[in-house]
Structure 1
Amino acid sequence: MLVLGIESSCDETGVALYDSARGLLAHELHTQMAMHAEYGGVVPELASRDHIRRLVPLTEAALQAAGKSYADIDAVAFTQGPGLGGALLAGASFANALAFALGKPVIPVHHLEGHLLSPLLADERPEFPFVALLVSGGHSQLMAVRDVGDYTLLGESVDDAAGEAFDKTAKLLGLPYPGGAKLSELARLGTPGAFVFPRPMLHSPDLQMSFSGLKTAVLTAVQKVRDETGSDNIPEQTRNDICRAFQDAVVEVLAAKAQKALLDTGFRTLVVAGGVGANWKLREVLGGLSVRPPAAKGGKRPPAEQVQVFFPPLEYCTDNGAMIAFAGAMHLQSVQKAGGFGVKPRWPLAEIVKGA
């Protein structure tokens, strides 16, 4: 079965073809980064219009790259939510119109499930069950994944997600859009320990996370530097040091929560997905992650156990059509007739997650 995947939830237009027997055949992606940089963030109306312009050319490019035609498509999967309403409508309209014209079914896909399953596109794939650390844009969640469609929410951010905190902190430091990636680059140049920021909820007994207070701590540090220097301009090395300290704090919290999730579930496989999954420091720390179970009553504590950690290829960390096509192929049994489409900009995870 050949599934066409359409992703248009925010500022990337992604189109891909996934064959259930042969795997990913082609994927095309257009990012609107340069267009939105002028405004310092995503402008929803501009994003929606750009998706409309890009969908047909990208689809035809994917078909050509795969050596396929429209007639070869067996189903069309599209991101139904969550995301920007207008952007989602652009993709949903195109997907349903194309499916209707071809007489093929459509498969609505939850954007976060696409990210959740994206590591399965790699050559080295994780086996079920596993703990998933989903760090995508406005979402930071830990889930127990036992199979496709069998997810249990273990914990999530109670305020700003990690990705949001990266972007907001970058803007606070005067970094150009998209700031999160730039902050990560500058963190490489920072001096470890020059600044130390709090690790919110690091030792809480649950798996909840919080990053808004960390952003406030950075603001306080920046204001102190400006007061001391008498200038609004932050010295370059000081800025790099702040980036390093901020990133170290976020990564330490994410790693600690992932480690606790592994202990709580008994799983020894961790999957990291979403845009922050491309962060070099997070990959470095989680790549060497191990867990040490607590001692049984009256006994010695067992030795540490190594954890298998899987990241999606870098090209699948950000929004893309490949993950939507793959998720659609995994849900072929839930296909619908084209024509009755809708979008869910605030699609609750409870609708696809057990125990939420």
Structure 2
Amino acid sequence: MIPLSVPNLKGNELKYVTEAVEAEWVSTGGSFINKFENDIANYLKVEQAVATQSGTAGLHLALNLAEVERGDEVIVPTLTFIATVNPVKYIGAEPIFMDCDETLNMDIDKLEKFCETECYLSDNGLVNKKTNKVIRAVVIVHVFGNMANMEKLMEVATKYNLKVVEDATEALGTYYTSGKYVNKFSGTIGDFGIYSFNGNKIITTGGGGMLVAKDKSLAEKARYLSTQAKDDSLYYIHNEVGYNYRMTNVQAAIGVAQLEKLEEFIHIKKTNYELYKKSIDEIQGLSLLNFNKGTRANYWFYSLLIENDNYGIDMDSLLLNLNENSVQTRPIWGLIHKQSPYLSNQNFEIEKATKYIDNVLNLPCSSNLTREEVLRVTDILKNLKS
């Protein structure tokens, strides 16, 4: 079986974890947590980063710090993993769902249209005409490591007084190579940025996440809240409701080792993407979605677009055929506005997302993937064409 996306643990992971265990610092204290935070901050060129138990925990903290309150609304994409949206509900707010564009990222033109036609600005912020609720923030996802249109988004967010939370959980290492935000990494442009280190991400800690914030004091507040809001750790004084969201030292030890290999992983994934693309371009009815120009993507996931009429096999049949040939693939997530917990929430002109979920499969993309395995996958794709 060629797996979809699995960890690459061939660096100093065992060495650093052993150091953490031998030092008997295995919980939410220890030197590796501080080192991992500092290393990530240095890599991203930000002042500080805050290690969390998961990307979801980081998103929850970010919405809290963005002053999203119960009864508010938050604009989110429908084409994303549900963990992007669930923290909105944790806060007691409600999501409004936006369509995607041809990159699978949120359609910023439609976002702007929604703000212009369906809302009005008040002294309290952007108000939704339909619900009379204030829209406090927008959560933007850099889908599969492909940078969303942050230049346009930040213009819209500034105009309509929206806080921007970047879900960069799939996009660690992606940055602009031109334009207004040249050399700026995904997650460092909006008010908050969140990263994930689940087992399928480009680097992993087994689980875990990281938060960065444009305002240094808010990053410090995130760390405070993530450690149960301790105002006096000796006498256990807590002046706010906090969370048990701190990463463990063992996780961080793995993360330090993984970060050492990140640029190598990106190089491998870019090379494999280009090899896939060269072979797939020869197959009528199939194409790989491009990564945006003007960026250095991290090439996390490879998205295969299937034109049923030209290829002769629909997405579901192709998925089954690939699995039968020991190639693990998966479709895009089910659209969130169609999931049971969110059926009553507002959505706006969702069209492209519906098309893409029926026509896109993700191909194996691990940084362990060999040239021979890529060619095996593309040979199967060629042979299956009817």
TM-score by length of 1: 0.33
Which structure dedicates a bigger proportion of its chain to helix? 1
TM-score by length of 2: 0.31
